[in-house]
Amino acid sequence: MNSKSNKYYDLESFNSATLIFKADEVFGFGDFIEFYEFDQFDVFLYAYSDFYVEVECTEHGNRIANIRAISSSDTIDKYLNGTSLETELATVLDS
């Protein structure tokens, strides 16, 4: 794998890479989407290629604990409840 190229990696290749490589890719080529605060950790969600990347941080974002790619459908299931998704889709379709 060659970081900083114009090629995006697939989900499986991304997840099998080292933490440093994944950080380099997501911070260099990903688009920040949203921040989520949980009891044990915070998650910064990024769009990368055709999937999403969770950057889990501890200590108020001061330490990266994990970087993991997840599919679009898993992202929707995890971060959007059905009502929010329906509302957003209605808004987009009514525009």
Paired strand residues for 19: none
Question: Is 23 inside a domain boundary?
Answer: yes
Can you read off the two tokens belonging to residue 76? Answer: 């929707």
Per-residue confidence (pLDDT) for residue 90, from 0 to 100 = 74
* Prediction pTM value: 0.76
In this structure, are residues 67 and 55 in contact, taking their beta carbons and an 8 Å threshold? Answer: yes
Q: What angle do CA 57, 39, 61 make, to 5 degrees?
A: 20
Which residue range(s) make up the domain with 38?
A: 11-94
Per-residue confidence (pLDDT) for residue 2, from 0 to 100 = 43
CATH number of the domain residue 87 falls in: 3.30.67
- The count of structural domains within the chain is 1
* 10-residue stretch averages of pLDDT, the chain, 95 residues long: 65 96 96 89 93 90 91 83 66 74
CB under 8 Å, gap of 24 or more: what pairs does 72-78 form?
A: 75/45, 75/51
Per-residue confidence (pLDDT) for residue 56, from 0 to 100 = 95
